[in-house]
Homo-oligomer: A and B are copies of this chain.
Amino acid sequence: MRSSADTSLAERKRQLVADDLRDAALMLLATKGFDVVTVDDIVAAAGMSRRTFFRYFASKEDVVVRFLADTSADIITELATRPSAEPPSVALRHALWVPLAACNDHPEHSERARVVVRLILDTPALHARWLERQIEWRAELAAEVANRSGLDPHSDPYPRMAAGMALLALDTVLQRWQPGDDEQHLAELMDQAFAIVAPALDAPATLPAA
């Protein structure tokens, strides 16, 4: 039988292996380009076998995308804990800030995150996987938005589109993320992006659905 605290013995060893694999992969992919680096190159750099790589990551794209997209649950919980009186644009802005805040907590991670974002946006295969992951985010966000607004997520298109607009704002920020941007500059970009979609997110006509 397993100990109740599963995050102790073997689990941390697995995490170490996953981190090594991820670091080796990001280093090679970011410097040499996604297409020219093979999985064999990655596992050679990490000193492991090809088979082990696919036990930790579902695909070559997965290593890169999961580095950014593992925080999905945090976004939802953040949105769920925002006061219900807050207008959708404000609540969503705070929820979508969570992954960026996680990057900025440690400055040395921030730069690597920016490089990975650039790699994703510039590599069609990665961009596609990134959007695929965003689809899941959008569905979860839409469910939470429906909760907050009391709308039916199946009959009313507002929740799904509100989630889509929030993710579009995040995408715009990532697209405009330049080298050397500090946390404050990122916050400004985020505010600008949400200022554009806010009139639609908070429009009174959409909330009391016809």
Contacts and interface: CB of A to CB of B under 8 A. Distances in A.
A26 to B, nearest CB: 21
Interface stretch (A33-41, A76-84, A171-179): A171-179
The dominant DSSP class at the A interface is helix
Contact of A165 (B124, B131, B168, B203): B168
A128 interface: yes
Contacts of A164: 168, 171-172
Interface residues of A, number: 32
Most chain-B Cβ atoms within 10 A of its Cβ — which of A128, A175, A192, A203? A128
Contacts of A158: 196
B132 A196 contact: no
A206 interface: yes
Contact of A196 (B124, B161, B192): B161
